[in-house]
Amino acid sequence: MISSYLLLAVSLFAIGVLGVLVRRNVLVVLMCLELMLNGVNLAAVAFSQQLQNADGQVLVMVSFAIAAAEVTVGLVIIVLLYKNFYATATDAAQNLNG
Amino acid sequence: MGSLVFYILAFLTVLSAGAVVCLPKVIHSAIALIICFCLLAIHYLFLGSEFIAALQILIYAGAIMVLLVVSIVLMGSAFENQQEAGLLAKVIGVILASALLFVLSLAVPVGKGQFLNFEEQATILFSVVDIGQALFEKYFLAFELVGVLLLLVTVGAVMLLQEKKLPLPEGSGLRAKRQEHAKEAK
C-alpha cells in the first residue's frame, strides 16, 4: 500500500522534473516546481501513516509554508523579468550575468 | 475495492500532472495543476490526514494558485507566442526524466517485507491535536523560523517590486527593445 503511494509520489516528482527541463515558460516551470514539492509531500504523509507518527505531518505543514514563500519570491522574480526584459521565457535570464 | 479507487485516483493525478507539462497555454496548465492539487487532497484523506487535506485545498488550490492565476491574468498577452524548446531538448528532457523515474522507483520497497505491513495496520487518523502537540512541543523552533521566513518574504516581495528598472548592458539589444516598448505604451 505504501509502495503505491511512494510510486505515485515518485512519478509526480519525475513529471515535475520533466516540466522544468522541457518547458521554456517561467510560469510553467514554477508550476512544475510545485508538482515536485507535492510529490515529496505525498511521500512524507505516506511515511507518516506507515510509521504511525505525526512528525511527517509537521514536516508537510512547514513545507506548505515554505512553498507559499517560494511561490511569492518566484512570482516577484518573474514580474521583474517581465518588467525589465519583456520576456517570460527562461532564456531571458541568461542576460543576468551582465 | 479500496485499491481500485486508489488506482483510478492515482491515474487521474498523473494525468493532470502530465497535462500541466503538455498543455501549450499557461492558463490551461494552471487549471490542470488545480485539479492535480484537489486530487492530492483526496489522497491525503485516504491516508488519514484530514488536516493536511484541508491545508492542501486552502494553501495550494487556494492561495498559491490564486497568486499564479492572477499573475497570468496581469501579464496575459506576454504568454502568447511563446517560443518552446526544440525537439532535441525535449527528447533529452524526456530521457533524463525517465531515467530519474527509473532510479527513484528502484528505491521504492516492493513486495512483502518487514516495512510493508501497512495492510495489517489500521489507517489511523491524525487529528489536529496530534499535529499541534508535535508542532508546539517537539518542533517549536521550526514553527518560529517559518514565521520569520514569511515575514522576510513579505517585506522582500514589497521591496523588490518597487518601481525601478535595472540598468541594462550596452549593445545587448535589450535597451532598444525597452525603448520600443516604452514608445508603444505611449
- Among A42, A82, A86, select the one facing B40 at the smallest CB separation: A42
Task: ipTM value, please give it.
Answer: 0.90
Residues of A in contact with B135 (CB under 8 A): 58, 61
Per-residue pLDDT tens for B59-105? 998 899 999 999 888 876 666 656 677 888 889 999 999 999 999 98
Percent of chain B with pLDDT over 70: 75
- Record: contact A66-B98, CB cut-off 8 A: no
Cβ pairs bridging A and B (under 8 Å): 236
Q: Does residue B113 have a pLDDT over 70?
A: no
Domain B1-79 has CATH 1.20.120.1200: yes
Q: How far is A36 from chain B (nearest CA, A)?
A: 10
Per-residue pLDDT tens for B140-176? 999 999 999 999 999 999 988 886 666 666 666 666 6
CATH number of A2-90: 1.10.287.3510
Q: Calculate the alpha carbon distances from A17 to A5, A12, A29, B3, B16 in Å.
A: 18, 9, 9, 27, 15
Could you give the 3-state DSSP secondary structure of residue A89? Answer: strand
Percent of chain A with pLDDT over 70: 85
- Record: contact B126-A16, CB cut-off 8 A: no
Q: Where exactly does CATH 1.20.120.1200 map onto chain B?
A: 1-79
Q: How far is A75 from chain B (nearest CA, A)?
A: 8
Residues of B in contact with A60 (CB under 8 A): 49, 52, 55
Residues of A in contact with B6 (CB under 8 A): 4
